[in-house]
Amino acid sequence: MADIAKLKAELTGNPNRYSEMTDEAAAADLNTAYRERNKNSLTATEVLNAVVPAEFNALSDTVQRRIWDVLHIGDINPFGVEATLFIAAFGAGSVTIANLAKIRKEKISRAVELGLGFVYPGHVQNARM
Residues 60 and 99 in one domain: yes
Angle at 2 between CA 42 and CA 118, to 5 degrees: 50
Q: Please state the pTM of the whole predicted model.
A: 0.74
Number of domains the chain is built from: 2
Residues 87 and 123 in one domain: no
DSSP letter for each residue of 44-94 = HHHHHHHS-HHHHHTS-HHHHHHHHHHHTTSSB-TTSHHHHHHHHHH-TTS
From CA 116, how far away is CA 60, in angstroms rounded?
A: 48
| Chain segment 18-44, per-residue pLDDT in tens | 999 999 999 999 999 999 999 999 999
pLDDT for residue 58 is more than 70: yes
Residues 99 and 120 in one domain: no
The residues near 46 (Cβ < 8 Å, ≥ 6 apart) are 103
Domain of residue 114: give its range. Answer: 4-38+107-128
